[in-house]
Structure 1
Amino acid sequence: MSIPQSGGGPIERHEQLAEYLADGCKPKEDWRIGTEHEKFGYCKDTLKPLPYEGARSIQAVLEGLRDRHGWSPVLEADKLIGLEKDGANVSLEPGGALELSGAPLETIHETCDEVNVHLREVKDIADEIGVGFIGLGAAPIWTHDQMPLMPKGRYTLMNDYMGKVGTMGRSMMRRTCTVQVNIDFGSEADMVQKLRVALALQPVATALFANSPFFEGKPNGHKSWRSRIWRDLDDARTGMLPFVFEEGFGFERYVQYALDVPMYFVYRDGKYINALGQSFRDFLQGKLPALPGETPTLSDWADHLTTAFPEARIKKYMEMRGADGGPWRRLCALPAFWVGLTYDQSSLDAAWDLVKGWDAETREALRVAASVDALQAEVGKIKMHDLAREVVAISEAGLKSRARPGAGGLIPDETHFLNALKESLDSGKTPADELMDRYNGDWNGDLSRIYGDYSY
């Protein structure tokens, strides 16, 4: 979940809303890659989730990273709720999952090095205090009541609201984890093409990274239960955004969508002011019930944009949001997948050619089928396994064309980061399939074995 944004001064013209998004446009040489991933923490002896405070806690992990590895603290109401260093952030998800929001980096080699250093630092602290971390799309055993709500004002407000607008919002907050990648765009036209490809192919990412077949101690009938949760969370702020594919879509049309997303809060003087369900349109007119007579700043607009949760979204960059959290190798595979598709024009064009004939019903059907069956999904004549093979090949071609070397030039490009996905394509099995094989095989139905066998 996002931290408070720093967007700028007063909003005096409607045009500033779209201009804020357009200010993210960068020349290709300045495009960067930002990788985010979340993981569940637990006590190794009890296999229970971490509380916020105590000898074995989220706070203890954050303090260890601060004191031993040079991270700067982020406080809210005197509580340690995050860390900052070198353009990266460590933050808390509502149920205590730990998130790394990586710095904007030039290559997948760099972003994977960043992930590896972070996980080593976390393990260094966690091992010392008897804590483990695991990458999964959904908590496999823990119930809602076992998951503590972290001490952030934003989460308190969201928790109250989620119970009123859908059935699974609180499950999303406490019991799901994802890996995401943030990418840049060069112009409005580039943003439009990338967002259309991103939304259309998000189900392929969901399928390839499916890693949440368990919930509350048993199989749940879906290979990505995290994706299933997102389908019944809050229709006003989630989904596949069919309007993105309409003629004339651009920054202003996205602004109109975001203005129709009900508000959560306004951040003032270190506090979250309850604006649940209220309208940013009213805020622009000084008619927000939460702050009567006050009009918003660009920082308020930046905050509001973080409360829309479609499968792909734009701020001053684009976020790919469709993948389950997972094992170490796949934390590097996701940025490789999307960078290969979107940072080489030939590959981006090929990806668009692949999906431009689909209608909204097809895109939504693929989203649903991916959450249930992953690579075995079929929608009409589209077989997910075949589609994913073609998409990964396009991505690989894009990475080859980028030709960004690593390891001092010993590795010629970034294509090897796709190997985990190519192995899934060869075997037909995603991480969720492998977990089910273990559950029905050597684990003999003992799901507690997942912690010892799959933790970082």
Structure 2
Amino acid sequence: MAHMNTPRISYAHLVTTVNPRHVASLLQFFEHGAKPEREDGYGVEIEHLPVRNGTDAAVNYYEPNGIETLLNRLRPYYDAEEEYWENGRLVGLGRAGISISLEPGGQVECSIGVLRRPEELLTTYGLFRRQIDPILDELGFRLVNYGYQPTTGYADVPVNPKSRYDAMTEYLGRVGKFGPCMMRCSASTQVSIDFQNERDAIEKLRIGTAVGPILAWFFRNTPYFEGQTNPYPLLRQLMWDALDPQRTGLIPGLYDPRFSWEDYAVDVLSTPLMFADLTHTPEAQGLPDAQKHRVAFRDNAGEIYPDRELNPYEINHVLSTHFNDVRLKNFIELRHWDSLPIDRAERLTEIVGSLFYDDANRQRLESYFDGINEFDVIAAKTGLQAHGAQSTPYGQPLEFWQEFLGLEGLLADDPGDPKHPDVFQA
């Protein structure tokens, strides 16, 4: 492909707003995340939409026989020391290899890892379902895998009791589009991978950002939006791209050959935090609880956190307020995909492994995408949204990408009809 470097983004004007100790904290965090060669692992997160049997209406946290009841009935299967409570209510469970948490609208997220082989996902997830499904049957609802609630609109789904979600609602209700929709009604599958060093991490970020929209097309699973047939080819991508450009989409400067971890750290630290989380900041312990979670339209990390090294909780909060297509933490998080049933989630994990952990495939991808820039990626994303099955990402038809990325057997036409064989039947 033709070589065209992305214009270098200068951060000089941000120096006074980014605390050097905070930058150093993030760089150390990234460095500690590096894994030795050939110790590659996976983390898989699958979010589930709770819907009532018979009506397919969304089940919320507070209703009788709802999400709170489900978590309390699940407690005997999980470790007491891994329970997570907020405002006096149970909002999370955990044990070795798996944790259960809640997204804002009561979506039940199952986080599994670290896996050494993709097929291990089936074993751990299978036990999760064998324990939770009988309880769901008794409560009269089930967990389904779609990218968006099948019948209920966002206005009819209350957020769960986590204080941060009130601040998120205030922020996202005032910027961009689709914030309340994303929070309350969407669900995703995310796959995390390891990196060996800074160079390896940046190359994986670049490849993941480039191929992610194509994989999102082949793994799309959103037949519904706000109670109607979904009109958007890639609803999840559309929602996130329109959510808040300060913290979504592509990482600024990623395809510049000089891009570094420091550039990423400066970007996330200089952006308004969306909301402050001071629950694990010792200097704020005397504050009322309401002030420990507050909306932050303008304040960035340097204006919220003290002039010292950030602690691990504060670091994770800063990084988790950015929602780039591919996100860097002490691992790399690939975030493109709708919620998927387990067989498709395992297939996705296998493909991710083949692309990022197989040396020959990795070199092939690096060679093919050598010289692309962020405008090429934006054009590929836009083309998929505008032209669907007739789009040509990076100048190639989807049939080319199906073979090039090892996607044989996945359907390339539109699964918008709920009866389409590539859409999970609830």
Letter aligned with residue 67 of structure 2: I
Secondary structure (helix, strand or coil) at the match of 1:29 reads coil
Question: Would the aligned equivalents of 1:180 and 1:335 in 2 still touch at CA under 8 Å?
Answer: no
The match for 1:73 is 83
Displacement after TM superposition at 1:12 (Å): 4.7
The match for 2:123 among 94, 113, 121 is 113
The match for 1:274 is 294
Tell me how far apart the structure 2 counterparts of residues 436 and 214 of structure 1 sit (CA, whole Å): 12
Q: Normalised by the size of structure 2, how large is the TM-score?
A: 0.86
Question: Would the aligned equivalents of 2:50 and 2:106 in 1 still touch at CA under 8 Å?
Answer: yes
The match for 1:343 is 357
Tell me how far apart the structure 1 counterparts of residues 35 and 393 of structure 2 sit (CA, whole Å): 37
The match for 1:57 among 66, 89, 92 is 66
Displacement after TM superposition at 1:221 (Å): 2.2
Question: Would the aligned equivalents of 2:56 and 2:151 in 1 still touch at CA under 8 Å?
Answer: no
Tell me how far apart the structure 1 counterparts of residues 419 and 378 of structure 2 sit (CA, whole Å): 26
The match for 1:447 is none
Deviations 1:268-291 (A, max 9, x none): 2595431512111334665xxxxx
**1:240–1:45 Cα change, 3 Å:** same
2:338 aligned with 1:354 = no
The match for 1:133 is 143
Deviations 1:88-137 (A, max 9, x none): 21000101110011121211121222222223322121112111111011
Judge which range, 154-163 or 24-33, deviates more. Answer: 24-33
The match for 1:454 is 425
The match for 1:408 is none
**Percentage of pairs with the same residue:** 25
Question: Would the aligned equivalents of 2:255 and 2:372 in 1 still touch at CA under 8 Å?
Answer: no
Letter aligned with residue 279 of structure 1: N
Tell me how far apart the structure 1 counterparts of residues 374 and 22 of structure 2 sit (CA, whole Å): 33
The match for 1:428 among 383, 397, 412 is 412
**1:379–1:205 Cα change, 3 Å:** closer
Secondary structure (helix, strand or coil) at the match of 2:263 reads helix
The match for 1:90 is 100
Tell me how far apart the structure 2 counterparts of residues 201 and 42 of structure 1 sit (CA, whole Å): 32
Tell me how far apart the structure 2 counterparts of residues 178 and 208 of structure 1 sit (CA, whole Å): 14
Question: Would the aligned equivalents of 1:138 and 1:212 in 2 still touch at CA under 8 Å?
Answer: yes
The match for 1:172 is 182
Tell me how far apart the structure 2 counterparts of residues 172 and 65 of structure 1 sit (CA, whole Å): 26
2:221 aligned with 1:214 = no
Secondary structure (helix, strand or coil) at the match of 2:277 reads strand
**1:361–1:79 Cα change, 3 Å:** same
**1:355–1:119 Cα change, 3 Å:** farther
**1:435–1:362 Cα change, 3 Å:** farther
Displacement after TM superposition at 1:434 (Å): 5.3
Tell me how far apart the structure 1 counterparts of residues 135 and 56 of structure 2 sit (CA, whole Å): 17
The match for 1:365 is 379
Secondary structure (helix, strand or coil) at the match of 1:320 reads strand
Tell me how far apart the structure 1 counterparts of residues 265 and 179 of structure 2 sit (CA, whole Å): 24
The match for 2:12 is none
**1:134–1:374 Cα change, 3 Å:** farther
**1:220–1:332 Cα change, 3 Å:** same
Q: Which runs of 5+ in 2 are unaligned?
A: 1-18
Letter aligned with residue 182 of structure 1: S
Displacement after TM superposition at 1:87 (Å): 3.5
Matches within 5 A, 1:285-304: 286=307, 296-304=310-318
Matches within 5 A, 1:192-231: 192-231=202-241
Secondary structure (helix, strand or coil) at the match of 1:245 reads coil
Tell me how far apart the structure 1 counterparts of residues 224 and 22 of structure 2 sit (CA, whole Å): 49
Q: Which runs of 5+ in 1 are unaligned?
A: 1-9, 287-293, 393-420, 439-449
The match for 1:47 among 56, 59, 63 is 56
The match for 2:257 is 247
Judge which range, 300-309 or 265-274, deviates more. Answer: 265-274
Letter aligned with residue 268 of structure 1: T
Tell me how far apart the structure 1 counterparts of residues 22 and 75 of structure 2 sit (CA, whole Å): 42
Letter aligned with residue 274 of structure 1: R
Letter aligned with residue 357 of structure 2: Y
Displacement after TM superposition at 1:218 (Å): 2.2
Tell me how far apart the structure 2 counterparts of residues 374 and 335 of structure 1 sit (CA, whole Å): 24
Question: Would the aligned equivalents of 1:32 and 1:107 in 2 still touch at CA under 8 Å?
Answer: yes
Tell me how far apart the structure 1 counterparts of residues 150 and 75 of structure 2 sit (CA, whole Å): 30
